[in-house]
Structure 1
Amino acid sequence: MRQIVKARYRYRFYPSDQQQVSLAQLFGCVCVVWNDALAICKQSEKLPSNNDLQKLVITQAKKTNERKWLSDVSNIPLQQSVADLGVAYKNFFDSLKGKRKGKKVGTPKFKKKTSQQTARFRIGGFSIKGDEVYLAKIGNVKPIWSRELPSAPSSLTVIKDCANRYFLSFVVEVEPVQIDAKNQSIGIDLGIKTFAVMSNGEKAESPGYSKLDRKIRKLQKKLARQPKDSKRRNKTRIQIAKLHNQIADTRKDFLHKLSTKVVSENQVIILEDLNVSGMVKNRKLARAISLQGWREFRVLCEAKSEKLGRTFHTINRWEPTSQICSDCGFRWGKLDLSIRSVLCLNCGTEQDRDENAAKNINKVGIGHCHDSKRTWREGKTGLPAHLSEVSRITVL
């Protein structure tokens, strides 16, 4: 049976001055509809249905003097905004009941004009005509086609980020490509200075974020001293957003390339189930850990493993991978972070801390690992990242 996977293809585009005005009006209307619907939901004892909300905040609102300008934009993104609010509440209730795995999801929040702006079109609100894309009541826009769409898109989201960049994000169906793996399995130990150390001896150095991060911290201090709603404060805010985007784009490019290489070359990919939310409570390492994107790398590896027919595992976070010799199984105990290599007292082998941990992660993941008594035991694997996180992936 042929397996179909949904993916997002995102392209940047440069709207004209008139189109920027029309898009700003569209984003404002979508934001107002979301906030009006959310205000009704918070005041109601029972959550209204999507149809009832659409009648109140769209159909009836257009007849009033306060909201009659909602008729100037396409009705489709306004309806999708109400539908997205319903999905947000469903995720919140599923998280409360334990049906949704992962971190707890909070209640939907009101949207701000300074945050990222989005408007989603379904089929009927957009069409592709040659190199241009038609948006209802906006006109034709011409994105930078970095690659062809693999199939006809089912929906389109127009995005304006905090740095005033515009994107078109298409949802398409792709057929998984089968590629033969070169290696049977690989264990990966994640770190800060060296992002990934693999059981086969390879290392992936993390990109340098420190220079951009220092600029952000300097501008954030400047922003805190500027009066609110001033032009200079808004200019500083956009500068900070652009720097954040540079870091995010660099990290995303690095993680996509590394995860693609790892998944395409190995049949079984094994990572350690890190408690990132607990680790960032360390004030000395919180900023450096947050910049690495360990969770994003795990989500990408899992999604691409499913796409290419690979096996993805995570081992228990309490597994003593850095306390056991990967050659003989002798357990030397906990080590300080400053110790980067260990001489095994049992077999006399000098082990690099990260490479030794990666080899132990690989052994535990495939079910063959020596414990402190040097006896075989079954692999202990934890739950992988939840599949709902795959939607956030953007195909570059």
Structure 2
Amino acid sequence: MAKQNKAFKFRLLPNKEQSALLAKTFGCVRFVYNKMLAERKETYEKFKDDKELLKKQKFPTPAKYKSEFPFLKEVDSLALANAQMNLQTAYKNFFEGNADFPKFKNRKAKQSYTTNMINGNIKLENGHIKLPKIKKPIKMKQHREIPAGYKIKSCTISKTKTGKYYISILTEYEKDIRPVKIQKVVGLDFAMDGLYVESEQGKKANYPRYYRQALDKLAKAQRILSRRKKGSARWNKQRLVVAKLHEKVANQRMNFLQSLCQNKNIPLSEALEN
């Protein structure tokens, strides 16, 4: 038996109080990440000529800032700890030559944070989910059940540009993996006009060009947005119109790919990786 991971994504429907705490957590995670990065950047500039001495420098932790910034105590400490781990991973990738130096996060970037399951602090309760630091369980559109035997490892809460909240629940389960005999192999070649072409019969995916279908609406919406005063209520309202159009195109693409994978009996995660 081998341990496997699987994520389940659901829509969250928080109330005003819960939305405010989620927004505060997003902000605190970003704040701590940027603080640690600023310190690490200063250390790097100081010791970059001596790599051995640079490696000995201690990495800053979120606990360091809690006395100076008491508002950090109001949010989930595990979310702040995961921000530190994400920065350490980004820093490690930079030194291994796999990525550029980590960049500061801003408010316009994706808003999300990750918390871990420790001593039952995350619970699923009748279409609701209990998260650390949030008093009442948050309502959730649970369109499918998580199978018995799947243990929750962590949860990632995110907010889209259109103001929708989602939660990705990472689970761990045991699976008996047996070797599969390959009976047939089909090659797929990328095609500009149809996503791919099969090697044997030359069949195409007949991929609808969702973005091109929405181009006229997008162009009109973006022209209106460009005429609005940035930061005003009318600008923000029109920004949501543009964001919803982009979100619709993204959902259409994902739905098409998911339907295609179900017909071909291919896991969606493998299709996205390839």
Query: Is 1:136 the counterpart of 2:94 in the alignment?
Result: no
- Give the distance between the partners of 1:50 and 1:145, measured in 2 at CA: 45
What is the aligned partner in structure 2 of residue 92 from structure 1?
A: 94
Higher RCO structure, 1 or 2 (CA under 8 Å, sep 6+): 2
Deviations for 1:326-382, whole angstroms, at most 9, x for unmatched residues? xxxxxxxxxxxxxxxxxxxxxxxxxxxxxxxxxxxxxxxxxxxxxxxxxxxxxxxxx
Q: 1:264 to 1:83 in 2, by over 3 A?
A: closer
Cα shift readout 1:155-197 (whole Å, capped 9, x = no counterpart): 1111111111101101123537879889612122332332233
- Residue-by-residue CA offset, 1:292-347 (whole Å, 9 max, x unaligned): xxxxx8x73386xxxxxxxxxxxxxxxxxxxxxxxxxxxxxxxxxxxxxxxxxxxx
Residue 243 (structure 2) aligns with: 241
Pair 60,301 (structure 1): closer, same or farther in 2 beyond 3 Å: closer
1:194–1:204: 8 Å Cα contact kept in structure 2? yes
TM-score by length of 2: 0.81
Residue in 1 that maps onto 2:67: 63
| Amino acid corresponding to residue 18 of structure 1 in structure 2 | E
What are the residue-to-residue correspondences of 1:109-258 with 2, within 5 Å? 109-124=103-118, 125-138=121-134, 139-150=136-147, 151-174=150-173, 175=175, 184-198=184-198, 199-209=200-210, 210-258=212-260
The sequence identity of aligned pairs, in percent, is: 28
Q: Is the 8 A contact 2:76 2:115 kept in 1?
A: no
Distance 2:176 2:225 in 1: 47
* TM superposition score normalised by structure 1: 0.58
Output the CA distance in 2 between the equivalents of 1:177 and 1:197.
31
Amino acid at match of 1:248: A
Unaligned 5+ runs, structure 1: 266-296, 304-384, 386-396
Aligned to 1:79: 81
How far apart are 1:129 and its partner, in Å?
A: 3.4
Q: Would you say the 8 A contact 2:91–2:102 is kept in 1? A: yes
Once residues 3 and 116 of structure 2 are traced to their aligned partners in structure 1, the CA distance between those partners, rounded to angstroms, is 20
| Matching residue within 242, 264, 267 for 1:262 | 264
Q: Say if 2:273 is the partner of 1:300.
A: no
With over 3 angstroms needed to count, the CA separation of the structure-2 counterparts of 1:43 and 1:6, relative to structure 1, is same
Query: Structure 1 residue 260: deviation in Å?
Result: 4.1
1:53 aligns with 2:54: no
Q: What is the CA–CA distance in structure 2 between the aligned matches of 1:117 and 1:302, rounded to whole Å?
A: 22
Q: Distance in 1 between matches of 2:264 and 2:249?
A: 22
Q: Give the C-alpha shift of residue 115 in structure 1.
A: 2.5
Distance in 2, Cα, partners of 1:142 & 1:173: 23
